[in-house]
A and B are shown apart, each in its own frame.
Chain A
Amino acid sequence: MEFDKELDARGLNCPLPILRVKKALAELAGSKVLKVVATDAGSVKDFQAFCKQTGNDLLDSGENNGEYTFFIRKRA
């Protein structure tokens, strides 16, 4: 999937991945896509909840070898 910016949140634990994503999204223009890689297992549910509450769009997510990848489209 294409993205405009990538955030490495590996090794970080709750609530740091969410806080870093919030900051990264703030630096991104509307409708742009942020890719996030995290190792926090709790981030799967947390990113869903974050996107639902902030109106951003969680386009896709997946897990590979304990690494979780998310694609978030910033709300326009």
Chain B
Amino acid sequence: MAKKLAIIASKGTLDWAYPPFILASTAAALDYEVQIFFTFYGLTLLKKDLDGVKISPLGNPAMPMPVPMPNLIQMLPGMESMATMMMKQKMKDKGVASLEELRSLCQEAGVKLIACQMTVDLFDFKKEDFIDGIEFGGAATFFEFAGEADVSLFI
């Protein structure tokens, strides 16, 4: 029987968006059965439009910057968009897949994507804002799969 990987994706920034999709697509390539449960800010990763997925150096001292930048500068308007643009360009230069590409590779490989219904209600998200082919469910839905999973990750 295939091994199972259960992931909870709870974060919606560009850096934290990658691990769930990288691990899920790779596990699927290794013949795992995979489910990702998207909750809270992680739900952003299921939107059709991923432009809202950004990165900020603010409050993240570990983020490598071309020039050291004090927090006071980082909080200026436009800095977040600039950091996001720079990161995306760097990823492209280094041959790192875009989020959109990784996400559709996951779907092609049969990774099941589940949106947390409670979060959808909480943030008044509209179902039509999300990509096709996903399911909606709650914590019990996650445990139905995770309870039998060989690997479970909270990201």
Listed in ascending order, the chain A residues whose CB lies under 8 Å from chain B are 11-16, 18-19, 21-22, 39-40, 50, 53-54
Q: Decide: A19 and B105 in contact? CB cutoff 8 A.
A: yes
Q: Which of B95, B105, B109 has the most CB of A within 10 A?
A: B95
Q: Decide: B95 and A40 in contact? CB cutoff 8 A.
A: yes
Contact of B25 among A11, A13, A19, A53 (CB under 8 A): A19
A53 to B32, CA, bound (A): 10
Q: Which residues of B contact A54 (CB under 8 A)?
A: 29-31
Q: Which residues of B contact A11 (CB under 8 A)?
A: 95
Q: Decide: A15 and B95 in contact? CB cutoff 8 A.
A: no
Contact of B95 among A16, A22, A50 (CB under 8 A): A16
Q: Decide: B31 and A15 in contact? CB cutoff 8 A.
A: no
A50 to B26, CA, bound (A): 9
Question: Distance (Å) between the CB of B96 and the closest chain A CB?
Answer: 5
Q: Decide: A50 and B96 in contact? CB cutoff 8 A.
A: no
Q: Decide: A19 and B26 in contact? CB cutoff 8 A.
A: yes
Is B126 part of the contact surface with A, judged by Cβ < 8 Å? no
9 more CB-based (< 8 A) A-B contacts, given A14-B22, A15-B26, A19-B29: A11-B95, A13-B94, A13-B95, A13-B96, A16-B95, A16-B97, A40-B95, A53-B30, A54-B31
Beyond A14-B22, A15-B22, A19-B105, whether A50 also contacts B29 by CB under 8 A is yes
